[in-house]
A and B are shown apart, each in its own frame.
Chain A
Amino acid sequence: MPIAMISALYSVPVSLGVNRVIKGARIEHVCGNPALGSERDRAYRLQVVRTALQSLTRAISTPLLLDPTQEAT
């Protein structure tokens, strides 16, 4: 059962060997960004969650660190 970890302080799970790490926004709001305004925030939140979900479908042999803003979702 694969697990995708979404974290703003992603260097920590990466250094601990977590296999699927997704970069979150900020420590105070990991899965979103209220500063974007509600429409763009929603789009961003979909990006984050979709990136995390897609990582669950990828076969990997070494740890993966994904930036939702760089991934096609």
Chain B
Amino acid sequence: MIEQKGPIRVVHYLNQFFAGLGGEEKANLSVEVRSDALGPGRLLNQLLGTTGRVVATIVGGDNYVGERSDDAARTIEDALRSLQPDLLIAGPAFDAGRYGVACALATRIAGDLGILAVTGMHPENPGVTLPHGDAPIVPTGASAAEMRSALEAMARIGGKIARGEELGPAAAEGYLPRGRRRPGLRKEPGHRRAISMLEDRLAGRAFLTELPVRPIEQIVPAAPIAALGRATVALVTTGGLVPKGNPDRLVAAGATEYLRYNVAGLDALSAADWDCVHRGFYTAIVKQNPNYILPLDIVNDLHRTGEIGGVYPWIFTTSGVGTADRESRRMGQAIGQELRNTRVDGVLLVAT
């Protein structure tokens, strides 16, 4: 809780793209601190008005923060320690997975240092599932076209918490529920609210549950393969692998289908015959060697030497970026079902 005498001092966390430093080719940028507002930070400054000011921007390359998170964490921690902001605002990341993960890291570090923070991203962004301190997450759509409304919400909520004000319920204030329940009084007694909810439900009308029940997903580990030397292994990738020319038109993002291709007799995936359409990472390296996202060459070698019993001749591919949760589940179940119907003993799944 801070006694606010002057404008709130805000530090803004951005990725390399929104900071205006470059696209995928700059995703390996290490964490830098700039002493002013960059990119959407300027709009954020406007929205904060007299109540707050962006005093610095921390910029992290999405790949760097994802792959060297310990180093990134150290730099972010040092920056926050020396800047001592009243508030950290991270993102919004929309549906950019790596960016969301980085925002979660930044807000977690802020939380560890006792610095208040707020972030924003799509509810299905993987960053939502990672520890993010106590920072409220403003839900956004997938597209940066919503930047203004996202920043408005983040500035409003951030301002509130920085001034020590209590946030209202998640639905009312506009942040993702944190699983906290506070005692309070409602207008109608419980039995009337319950019957009213039941009537709505039976009539097919929308209703808002007072107690969302969200089971934690625990996937029972599958029993192990007894002997690799007798096992047939299948390969699946979410790297957006396609035959050259993308004949079946696999989409670059937001996939709702997967494709299967027969690779019987094929030693390895060649750059001449295969391509990568995934929109979420810099694909030049994989285009030169598609085996980096589906290691067919290595698996074939191990089959030849007898280390594995067989290689399933069909490979499965989709583009794992901006994939809706329910579509991922459906595709996973379909692929799983297909493999269960064959003599496959185990699967290697390559993701980014």
A residues whose Cβ falls under 8 Å from a Cβ of B: 1-9, 11-13, 15-20, 24, 26-32, 34, 45-46, 48-50, 52-54, 56-63
Contact = CB atoms under 8 A, between A and B. Distances in A.
Given A2-B346, A12-B130, A46-B302, 8 more contacts: A12-B97, A15-B129, A19-B222, A28-B282, A29-B286, A30-B352, A46-B301, A50-B302
Contact of B219 (A19, A24, A53): A19
A12 B346 contact: no
Contact of B285 (A17, A34, A62): A34
A28 B298 CA distance: 18
B292 A29 contact: yes
Contacts, number: 155
B173 to A, nearest CB: 25
Which bucket holds chain B's interface residue count?
35 or more
Interface in B260-317: 281-286, 288-289, 291-295, 298-299, 301-302, 307-308
Contact of B347 (A3, A7, A11, A63): A3
B285 A5 contact: no
B146 interface: no
Given A1-B345, A29-B292, A32-B292, A17 B217 contact: yes
A53 B228 contact: yes
Given A15-B126, A53-B228, A53-B233, A31 B350 contact: yes
Contact of A20 (B221, B223, B239): B221
Interface stretch (B37-45, B61-69, B193-201, B203-211): B61-69
25 contacts: A2-B223, A5-B349, A7-B350, A7-B352, A8-B67, A9-B67, A9-B98, A9-B352, A18-B219, A26-B67, A27-B66, A28-B284, A28-B285, A29-B286, A30-B292, A31-B294, A31-B350, A34-B285, A45-B298, A48-B298, A49-B348, A57-B225, A57-B227, A59-B224, A60-B221
